[in-house]
Chain A
């Protein structure tokens, strides 16, 4: 699916990578990290391999500083482009805020999740209004494949809204993402998503 983003001087068209309907930022993060760490390892291996030869430092510095200018501009350009693309898709203010969201109250408490509703329908836009009555917790929404698909912090005194529209029926889970004491790992709640109001999973 192609999405369009205004980036100041025009419109950027991005092919959104989807697998099973879920955005694959995790896969991108993993692949990019492996690739760049490999490149860094190559650079260090090359310099190590060349380290036993002896040349005068002055010319090496001069050439090195020249290359550095382009290297700096290159990194800066990549960072600017990634920022321009990603900052248009922040999860804080949903891009279709005018849509009619179903509001669901979520309250974290050591060591459970209280929710005003725990059964949802595919295609129904949901606003999870997340807070806590004791300490800070982390609201992590996991799909059936145990993949994290959205999260926000559950804080005493604050309500954070996270928006999600389920695109597949099934059993989803809310896991605690912020350490909240010795029962942190048992703070799990299952929610059901059906493909119709009649409740077919």
Chain B
């Protein structure tokens, strides 16, 4: 059974996308400002640099989650009777959380990074006052609660429709009780995200609440290494799940564009079950330089980080290549972005896997190699999927005409995103530490190249965004929505 998307849901998705488009541009500007400063092309104080760095990190992760959620909700609405008021409630919580985070950073000088490591917030609070950390941490907590509520709600409907989360993850097909095609990829991916991100948010909530208590009463302490585990269990999983939400658009979009089915079979289910387990397990690769962590846990971090590359390499990206190959596709802006986003995801997995190798991590951990790999899968993967979905949404719900700017902007975006990531990875190759406000003369050239690429990425993103806003004016007025037609 398929459902019709409700007008309120369309509006809510639209507002999610509008917010996402604006914040992505703003966060890109922050990113370029940091590179310009490191490249000695502008001069900002270290205090401001680290505030911008904190805002850029939490802003990009938060907005990728919001955009990913919009994608997940839009397509999942075909298969589950979702009440859009829940999405609206989450949106309001998100905005309140963002306001609190911004007050913390720019009002009260919180600059401890989005993956702040306990007890840094309370240490900073001793010098700069507790308000910044309290606003920031409370804001993150609000965001987390909003997402947790929505995941609980989605889990409830997945369970009602499919008989349990194990069933929407295809266990009946893996165990051979059923054959053929199972729940749609949108439901499978959503199940994985619900399980992983709920776990991540609970881990994050523990360390945030512990940090708040520690600020209010320094006598209340937790073990710093335990706190680090919780911080990365939250940060790693939450960041990873942005792509697992956004990829739903690729499944649905490329299937539609090629007029070929992209359905869940046994191999597909096995891949997503392994993705679920591995994504939960491999945050320990962030702790490879914490020699106090049990060795077996760190070896797990390496081995399963490698293994976590397999589902995307062998199933998802391979599936994208297969569905497009000799399909007679008529490329559109959104379908090309969906296709290229799989290139971004797959490419980003390579330096990530290499860095998860303990002996390599020993001389590359916390160098700019790290932002090199996550900018690849975030910028050329997740954000590309979101930009693609913005155009797809306009095609379905509004009016949009393809023009020559589309191809130009895609070429511009991908050429210079490769350049940006290349500059980061090269900086990692020459051992430039990440998160330094000021750079030594030997490092400056790679920053300048990165800044130049960043400016052109912003130009391309601006074209994407303008095209999106031009098309969205008539969103909801069209009768061409697939989801409307289903009725």
Pick from B289, B342, B364, B438: contact of A25, CB under 8 Å:
B364
In the complex the two chains form, is A47's CB within 8 Å of B295's CB? no
- Tell me the number of A-to-B contacts counted with CB atoms below 8 Å: 221
> Could you say which residues of chain B place their CB within 8 Å of the CB of A156?
119, 224
Q: Is A119 an interface residue (CB 8 A)?
A: no
User: Which segment of B73-81, B314-322, B444-452 sits at the interface?
Assistant: B314-322
List residues 272-315 of chain B with CB under 8 A from any CB of chain A: 289-292, 295, 298-299, 302-303, 306-307, 309-310, 313-314
Q: How many residues of B contact A (CB 8 A)?
A: 78
User: Which segment of B173-181, B428-436, B454-462 sits at the interface?
Assistant: B428-436
- State the Cβ distance, B251 to closest chain A Cβ, in Å: 15
List residues 85-128 of chain A with CB under 8 A from any CB of chain B: 86-87, 89-93, 110
> Could you say which residues of chain A place their CB within 8 Å of the CB of B351?
29, 33
In the complex the two chains form, is B339's CB within 8 Å of A54's CB? no
Pick from B318, B325, B363: contact of A148, CB under 8 Å:
B363
Instruction: List B residues at the A interface (Cβ < 8 Å).
Output: 46-47, 50, 111-113, 117, 119-120, 123-124, 223-225, 228, 260, 267, 289-292, 295, 298-299, 302-303, 306-307, 309-310, 313-314, 318, 321-329, 331, 339-340, 342-343, 346-347, 350-351, 354-355, 357-360, 362-367, 369, 425-426, 428-431, 433, 435-438, 440, 442-443
In the complex the two chains form, is B365's CB within 8 Å of A52's CB? no
Interchain Cβ contacts under 8 Å between A and B, 18 examples? A37-B347, A47-B325, A54-B326, A57-B327, A86-B357, A90-B299, A93-B295, A135-B119, A135-B123, A136-B117, A148-B433, A150-B363, A151-B366, A158-B225, A177-B289, A177-B433, A180-B120, A184-B437
| Given known A44-B321, A155-B224, A157-B224, contact A181–B112 (CB-CB < 8 A) | yes
Q: How far is the CA of A185 from the CA of B119 in the complex (A)?
A: 19
Q: Is A79 an interface residue (CB 8 A)?
A: yes
**A43 to B, closest residue via Cβ:** B321
- State the Cβ distance, A185 to closest chain B Cβ, in Å: 4
In the complex the two chains form, is B50's CB within 8 Å of A29's CB? no
**B357 to A, closest residue via Cβ:** A86
Ranked nearest first, the 5 interchain pairs of A and B with the lowest CB-CB distance are A54-B328, A148-B431, A160-B291, A55-B326, A185-B436
> Could you say which residues of chain A place their CB within 8 Å of the CB of B328?
51-54
- State the Cβ distance, A115 to closest chain B Cβ, in Å: 18
> Could you say which residues of chain B place their CB within 8 Å of the CB of A26?
363-364, 428-431
Q: Is A196 an interface residue (CB 8 A)?
A: no
In the complex the two chains form, is A175's CB within 8 Å of B433's CB? yes
List residues 153-168 of chain A with CB under 8 A from any CB of chain B: 153, 155-162
| Given known A71-B314, A79-B307, A138-B366, contact A47–B321 (CB-CB < 8 A) | yes
Q: How far is the CA of A61 from the CA of B462 in the complex (A)?
A: 38
> Could you say which residues of chain B place their CB within 8 Å of the CB of A193?
none
> Could you say which residues of chain A place their CB within 8 Å of the CB of B119?
134-135, 156
| Given known A26-B429, A33-B425, A92-B295, contact A181–B120 (CB-CB < 8 A) | yes
> Could you say which residues of chain A place their CB within 8 Å of the CB of B291?
91-92, 152-153, 160-162
0/1 string, A36-51, CB within 8 A of B gives 1: 1100110110011011
> Could you say which residues of chain A place their CB within 8 Å of the CB of B428?
26, 29
In the complex the two chains form, is A50's CB within 8 Å of B326's CB? yes
- State the Cβ distance, B281 to closest chain A Cβ, in Å: 15
In the complex the two chains form, is A155's CB within 8 Å of B290's CB? yes
- What 9 new A-B contacts, CB under 8 Å, besides A37-B350, A179-B113, A179-B435? A32-B350, A40-B346, A82-B306, A91-B359, A92-B291, A135-B117, A182-B50, A182-B111, A185-B438
Query: B50, B298, B355: which has the most chain A beta carbons within 10 Å?
Result: B50
In the complex the two chains form, is B355's CB within 8 Å of A51's CB? no
In the complex the two chains form, is A40's CB within 8 Å of B343's CB? yes
- State the Cβ distance, A94 to closest chain B Cβ, in Å: 11
**B111 to A, closest residue via Cβ:** A182
